[in-house]
């Protein structure tokens, strides 16, 4: 199996999938934080550092097949703390880079089997729900069935 870990931070998704019993023979990760990348590489020595998501070219940088894509795309644009600028903030538009990669694999006839996207509760209500509707529509238009869930993480993390 192959994992593409976008906006990877220190590898929380990778760790979660591994703890759940998934075994990957290739992992690529992308984040712009050099310290997070250092921790990721320390914990997952075989993982391939891909750099800035905007520079990833699937035909050049990624394997022909990806089984799982995980992405905790930047939430600051959708959160109260970040001013809720949404797509008017360039960080808010980074979701479309995920869509670009998903679309590439669909067009190549090898759609990514499963993806997991994570963000803040404010994404659902941002711009009266229009932002989430756009994200949902983009994913559906690419050809994916989308399921979403709001989770209170306070049972496992010191935040809600």
**111/109 Cα distance (integer angstroms):** 6
Q: Report which of 85, 90, 94 is spatially closest to residue 6, judged by C-alpha positions.
A: 94
Residues 6+ apart with CB under 8 A from 52: 30, 32
Contact criterion met (CB below 8 Å) for 100 and 142: no
| Active-site residue, 75 included | yes
- Give the closest residue to 49 by CA, choosing from 10, 92, 97, 101: 10
Cα–Cα distance between 149 and 145 in angstroms, integer?
14
Residue among 75, 102, 117, 135 flagged as catalytic: 75
Question: Using the 8-state DSSP alphabet, how is residue 63 labeled?
Answer: -
**Known catalytic residues?**
75
């Amino acid at each position: 199996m192959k994992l593409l870990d976008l906006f990877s931070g220190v590898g929380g998704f990778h760790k979660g999938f591994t703890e759940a019993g998934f075994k990957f023979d290739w992992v690529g990760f992308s984040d712009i934080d050099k310290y997070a990348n250092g921790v990721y590489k320390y914990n997952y020595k075989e993982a391939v550092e891909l750099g800035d998501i905007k520079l990833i070219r699937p035909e050049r940088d990624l394997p022909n097949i990806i089984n799982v894509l995980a992405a905790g795309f930047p939430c600051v644009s959708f959160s109260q703390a970040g001013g809720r600028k949404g797509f008017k903030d360039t960080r808010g538009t980074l979701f479309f880079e995920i869509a670009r990669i998903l679309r590439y694999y669909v067009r190549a006839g090898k759609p990514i089997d499963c993806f997991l996207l994570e963000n803040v509760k404010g994404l659902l209500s941002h711009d009266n729900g229009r932002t989430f509707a756009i994200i949902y529509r983009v994913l559906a238009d690419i050809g994916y069935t989308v399921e979403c869930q709001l989770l209170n993480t306070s049972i496992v993390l010191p935040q809600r």
